[in-house]
Amino acid sequence: MTGISKRLAQFVADLNYDDLPSDLVERVKLLILDISGIMVRARHDAESTPALINAVKRMGLTNGKCSVMGDTESYAPPAAALINGTLAHSLDFDDTHAKASIHSGAPIVPAALAAAEISSCSGREVITAIVAGFEVQIRLSLALNPSAHYEQGFHPTATCGVFGAAAAAAKLLGQDEVGVRNAFGIALSQSAGSMQFLTDGAWTKRSHVGQAAQNGLMCAFLSAEGFKGVDEPFEGKWGFFHSYAPNSEGDKATAELGATWETMSLAVKPYPSCRYTHAAMDAMTELLSEHKLDWTDIDEIEIGLPQTGWNLTADPLSHKQHPKNVVDGQFSMPFCAAVILREGGMTWDDYAKHLNDQDTRALCAKVDVVVDPLAEEEFPANMAGVARIKTNGKTYERFVAVPKGEPENFMSQAEFRAKFEGLCEPYLGSTGANQLANTILTLEETNSIKSVMELSRPQ
């Protein structure tokens, strides 16, 4: 396990837009569209946003050179990356990578947007930098063994995300291999993110992803000015792999680098909840539609998940059956199941509608969650799930191996636009949301990212 830091840095420095397959470019634009819609909505609707914005203002970080999606103010670059990164993860509606068990857009796209605004970069340069950041972050998590990393108490989206953010920002600052590796070396000391938020509904899951974006951006700028970081941040004796998870397989970080694009394995979410809940939610929607089930007649619901999904969304069941806030709901399989049973789907607005609804809470108490052998067999390749609904003396069962939004069951551009418009139209209007979507979907034709960010300002 040697030379990993150098090889990853060389990949980032050498990557060109013309190296990217056309299907990869199209996929990245959809991913940018997806995360942008989430940022716009979270700027206004996430309960953690006012405290975040007020803190940034109190520190005097406004009137800068960078923009925040869905905001009319301007901000200092690190503040813009922090806010956009936190917003991108505040609805738990952002992309996921099943094997790596991470979200990629939230820490990386905001760092790239801030660096691009400062450097007046084109859409092609931004697409290239985001791919570089995605590949670095995803591969680091694969090498760590994400389940073991979680068991250590770390959130890999943030711990690996700071390196992806540093890669994207360093690329947009025009750094060579030495500069990118130096940015990684500085970022090693900024890699953080604790899973303790699961115990009490804290907002830190959102903020430490934003901090990964902020810190990655700052590491790239420090490196660009000659600040020296460690030479072997990943494989070194006290480097990332040795310190952050037992039994890391560092060579996975560079396996088929530049030939196999892990970015193409990113999935998107049709529901604003933990990705481990989605296969079972798909199963329930199919059963509801196929058998015309009425939620008022349902006696019991059993959901089967892989062990990692059960750990995050069902343990302890007594807590998960009684969510108190949005974060609780996002990581509660019983709550997500109850909403699906009542609505036939789930949108961001369902949290406000159902968290304190007594009928929904009564349904939560009917939901049991178990570790299912079939779902466990699919993991980590797929976040599978099974739903068993008992009603009127009958049991209806459906197993879903590949939830909607995974690469093998991807959303169409029309579905992406519908999700984007549903999130943005309350604040950008129909015309504004449509114009921003069209611009992002033709991002390779854009000469300045600043013009894109201006379209995200509320009407």
DSSP per-residue letters across 234-290: TTSTTSHHHHH-TT--GGGGTTTTTTS-GGGGEE--SSSS-GGGHHHHHHHHHHHHH
Same domain assignment for residues 73 and 143: yes
Same domain assignment for residues 120 and 253: yes
Alpha helices of 296-357 — where are they, by DSSP H? 307-313, 317-320, 326-330, 333-343, 350-354
Same domain assignment for residues 237 and 322: no
Same domain assignment for residues 320 and 445: no
Per-residue model confidence as pLDDT tens digits over 32-88: 999 999 999 999 999 999 999 999 999 999 999 999 999 999 999 999 999 999 999
What is the maximum span of the chain, computed from C-alpha positions, in angstroms? 71
Q: Pull the structure tokens for residue 255.
A: 């396996």
- The residue written with tokens 């200092």 in the block is 76
Query: Is the per-residue pLDDT at 452 higher than 80?
Result: yes
Closest by Cα among 220, 146, 227, 154 to 187: 220
Residue 34 structural domain: 4-268+431-455
Mean pLDDT of 99-126: 96
pLDDT at 397: 98
Per-residue model confidence as pLDDT tens digits over 250-267: 999 999 999 999 999 999
Radius of gyration of the chain (CA): 21
Same domain assignment for residues 198 and 312: no
Same domain assignment for residues 168 and 62: yes
How much is the mean pLDDT over the chain?
96
Within 10 Å of residue 236's Cβ, how many Cβ atoms? 17
Query: Is the per-residue pLDDT at 1 higher than 70?
Result: no
Within a domain: residue 411?
Answer: no
Number of domains forming the structure of the chain? 2
Same domain assignment for residues 21 and 136: yes
Within a domain: residue 426?
Answer: no
Query: Residue 12 maps to which CATH number?
Result: 1.10.4100.10
Within a domain: residue 410?
Answer: no
Q: At what angle do helices 161-172 and 204-224 cross, to 10 degrees?
A: 40
Within a domain: residue 117?
Answer: yes
Within a domain: residue 44?
Answer: yes
Mean pLDDT of 150-159: 94
Closest by Cα among 242, 147, 241 to 195: 147
pLDDT at 187: 98
Same domain assignment for residues 115 and 236: yes
pLDDT at 145: 87
Distance CA 186, CA 38 (A): 29
Within a domain: residue 356?
Answer: yes
- Evaluated on CA atoms 372, 378, 384, 388, the torsion sign reads negative
DSSP 8-state code for residue 342:
H
Within a domain: residue 173?
Answer: yes
Same domain assignment for residues 374 and 441: no
Same domain assignment for residues 79 and 222: yes
pLDDT at 246: 80
- The residue written with tokens 């159902």 in the block is 354
Closest by Cα among 245, 410, 319 to 327: 319
Same domain assignment for residues 204 and 345: no
Query: Which of the four pLDDT bands, split at 50, 70 and 90, describes residue 148?
Result: confident
Same domain assignment for residues 223 and 337: no
Within a domain: residue 424?
Answer: no
